Structure 1
Amino acid sequence: MHIPDNYLSPLSCAVTAGVAAPVLAYSVKKVKEAVRDNREMAPMLGVASSLSFLMMMFNVPVPGGTTAHAVGSVLLAILMGPYAASISVSVALILQAFLFGDGGILALGANILNMAIIMPFAGYAIYRFFQKRNLETIGVIISSYVGLNLAALATAIELGIQPILFNDGGVALYNPYGLSVTIPAMMFTHLAVAGFVEAFFTLVIFKFVKRISPEKIQGPVMEDKKQGHSIVTKLRYFIIFLLILTPLGLLAEGTAFGEWSNEELLEILNKTNPGALLPKGLERGFEFNSIFPDYTIPNTNLSIGYILSAVTAILIFFILGKIIQTVIQSKSKTNV
């Protein structure tokens, strides 16, 4: 679901970024207020980004030779509220793009809109609908499943409209596949496989939090200051557990639909149309060289590099959480 650069036109990137920006700005405002009221929210932001990042590293095979993964946006919305979830997942996506080349730099607006805005806000609304009717567990399952698939649908539409809106004499300039291809391909993957993986992760971690936080969850868990410290500490242990298991994400072979490199796409195009050329936007588009492309570390084997990439990200998220906590505390003292 991570759209690479050049699969969307510059205009599409600008529009999606323009839609995402005000939502993120308002989310930042709401999170600042939450951190001032509950100090544990700051480290939880780092923990939440780590959780989402790790969940996205567990690729699962999908029929057809592609892969898919969970995101964790709805889980974080249930634990912290949709505004904090939006910020945490956005930070994870930004780090993935710049440090590991997972998702495009110019396409960040689209990826944030899909996975860090549509998914947590829609999923949280569905969860609250069921929770208010004392159907909490069902709500967790359905909200996470539907939330992921809504994000996948948005991705499919963004990719699928490219050859319709941006072409040169009928030849696609960016993503070459129209809606008749992108929607079935994306939705089959996520309805049949990824949605269930998302629901499984969400339910397991939610039940884990419920066990260490026995009070009934009426709203975001982190609104309860007494429970906050315990949740942050226990989730850190859970993150270490997931970190050890991250090499399992390497077992799934193949590239997710719409996330191909230029070489992979050209090979796919030539299977159905020998002699096909890359769309001009992909061939001549923006290129960014990340530090650790595809979660690889120079001079290490694949599994070790995968783990070290995850460790690097978690340390960055931890530091960011500490910085936020320090800044908020210093402002609070100044205001006093």
Structure 2
Amino acid sequence: MHIPDNYLSPQTCTFFFAATIPIVGLALKKVKLQVAEKKETVPMLGISASLSFLMMMFNVPIPGGTTAHAVGATLLAILIGPYAASLSVTLALVTQAFLFGDGGILALGANVFNMAVVMPFVGYGIYRLFQKWHHEKLGVILGAYLGINAAALMAGIELGLQPLIAHDAAGQPLYAPYPLHIAIPAMLFAHLLIAGWVEAGFTVAVYQFIKKVAPNELYAAPQKLTAVTPTKKLHRALYTFIVGLIILSPIGLLASGTAWGEWDASELLQQLKTAHLSQVLPTGMAHGLNFNALFSDYAIQGLPLPLGYMLSALTAVLIFYLIGKLVINHYATHA
């Protein structure tokens, strides 16, 4: 679901940056108020960003030779609220794009909109609806499943619109070459069939653990829960879980194939040739941005790929931890 650079036209990228920046700005204001009421929100932002980042490293195979992954945005929204979840997933996506080359720099606005805006707010809205109907667990499952599929639908629409809005005088696409009737089913197939259920399973498992260990930590916990929440115990458990995910992260390498719509230039060109659609890349893609991330594809030069994968995961988690520490120190200084 990470749209690479050169798949979206400059106009599309500009539109989604313009649409996303005010939402992220609003989330910052909302979370600032949330932190003022509950200081524990700050470390949870770093923990949440780590969870989302690591979940996205675990690719799962999809019939047809592609892959997909969970995101965790609905889980985070249930845990720390939709605005805080939006910031956490945004932080994870920015780190992925700039440090690991996962998702485009110019396409970052669209990726944030899909995975850090649409997904947590749709998923959380469904969860809250079912919570009010006294079917909270069902709301967790459906929220996670439908949230990630709403994000996938948006990505399919964005990619599928490109041949309509960005083409040359001869009608040839300049960017993503597949129209809506191909892009939308392809994106939804992977997520309705596999990734959505992985997302739902992971979400409900972590939710049930938190519900048992620290129910007051849930963002929309009923007011009748007045017992003191074992916050430190929950943090230790989540950090232990994160360490486990880091160690297991190379499992994500076992799924072969590139996610639909995330091919590099050579892979896409081969697909176009095989389908007898074109012998050359779309012009805009061939002459677009070529950003070289420091640890592209989570690989570290000179190290075996599994070890590089683990160290990349550890690096990201440390970044999120340090950001959390800086924010905590800022609030302590200005308290």
Relative to the length of structure 2, the TM-score reads 0.96
TM superposition shift of 1:233:
2.3
Give the residue type in structure 2 aligned to 1:208. F
Instruction: Tell whether 2:111 aligns with 1:121.
Output: no
Partner of 1:231: 234
CA, structure 1 residues 205+330, in 2 after alignment: closer, same or farther (shift >3 Å)?
Answer: same
1:243–1:310 Cα contact (<8 Å) kept: yes
TM superposition shift of 1:134:
1.3
Partner of 1:259: 262
1:294-305 to 2 correspondence within 5 Å? 294-305=297-308
1:38-187 to 2 correspondence within 5 Å? 38-168=38-168, 169-187=170-188
CA distance in 1, matches of 2:215, 2:263: 45
Partner of 1:313: 316
CA, structure 1 residues 265+157, in 2 after alignment: closer, same or farther (shift >3 Å)?
Answer: same
CA distance in 2, matches of 1:103, 1:122: 22
Relative to the length of structure 1, the TM-score reads 0.95
TM superposition shift of 1:208:
1.3
CA distance in 2, matches of 1:262, 1:163: 17
1:160–1:175 Cα contact (<8 Å) kept: yes
Q: What stretches of structure 2 of length at least 5 have no aligned partner?
A: none
2:215–2:221 Cα contact (<8 Å) kept: no
CA, structure 1 residues 277+5, in 2 after alignment: closer, same or farther (shift >3 Å)?
Answer: same
CA, structure 1 residues 301+220, in 2 after alignment: closer, same or farther (shift >3 Å)?
Answer: farther
Give the residue type in structure 2 aligned to 1:19. A
Give the residue type in structure 1 aligned to 2:267. E
Partner of 1:243: 246
SS in 2 for 1:58: coil
TM superposition shift of 1:287:
1.3
TM superposition shift of 1:256:
0.2
Instruction: Tell whether 2:8 aligns with 1:12.
Output: no
Give the residue type in structure 1 aligned to 2:72. G
2:70–2:198 Cα contact (<8 Å) kept: yes
Give the residue type in structure 2 aligned to 1:192. L
Deviations 1:159-218 (A, max 9, x none): 000000110021000000000110110111100000000001101111111121145957
SS in 1 for 2:64: coil
Partner of 1:198: 199
TM superposition shift of 1:231:
2.3
CA, structure 1 residues 275+17, in 2 after alignment: closer, same or farther (shift >3 Å)?
Answer: closer
CA, structure 1 residues 254+135, in 2 after alignment: closer, same or farther (shift >3 Å)?
Answer: same
CA distance in 2, matches of 1:49, 1:110: 18
- Worse overlay, 46-55 or 320-329: 320-329
Instruction: Tell whether 2:307 aligns with 1:282.
Output: no
CA distance in 2, matches of 1:220, 1:310: 31
1:79–1:220 Cα contact (<8 Å) kept: no
2:17–2:109 Cα contact (<8 Å) kept: yes
Instruction: Tell whether 2:34 aligns with 1:34.
Output: yes
CA distance in 1, matches of 2:273, 2:259: 18
Deviations 1:64-116 (A, max 9, x none): 10000000000000000000000000000000000000000010000000000
TM superposition shift of 1:252:
0.1
SS in 2 for 1:320: helix
1:66–1:256 Cα contact (<8 Å) kept: yes
CA distance in 1, matches of 2:71, 2:198: 10
- Percent identical pairs in the alignment equals 52
Deviations 1:7-56 (A, max 9, x none): 00011001011111111000001111111222211111100000000000
TM superposition shift of 1:228:
3.5
TM superposition shift of 1:229:
3.2
Q: What stretches of structure 1 of length at least 5 have no aligned partner?
A: none
1:35–1:328 Cα contact (<8 Å) kept: no
Partner of 1:210: 211
CA, structure 1 residues 257+216, in 2 after alignment: closer, same or farther (shift >3 Å)?
Answer: closer
CA, structure 1 residues 165+218, in 2 after alignment: closer, same or farther (shift >3 Å)?
Answer: closer
CA distance in 1, matches of 2:71, 2:218: 22
TM superposition shift of 1:230:
3.0
CA distance in 2, matches of 1:143, 1:9: 31
Partner of 2:2: 2
CA, structure 1 residues 162+116, in 2 after alignment: closer, same or farther (shift >3 Å)?
Answer: same
1:140–1:203 Cα contact (<8 Å) kept: yes
Give the residue type in structure 2 aligned to 1:235. L
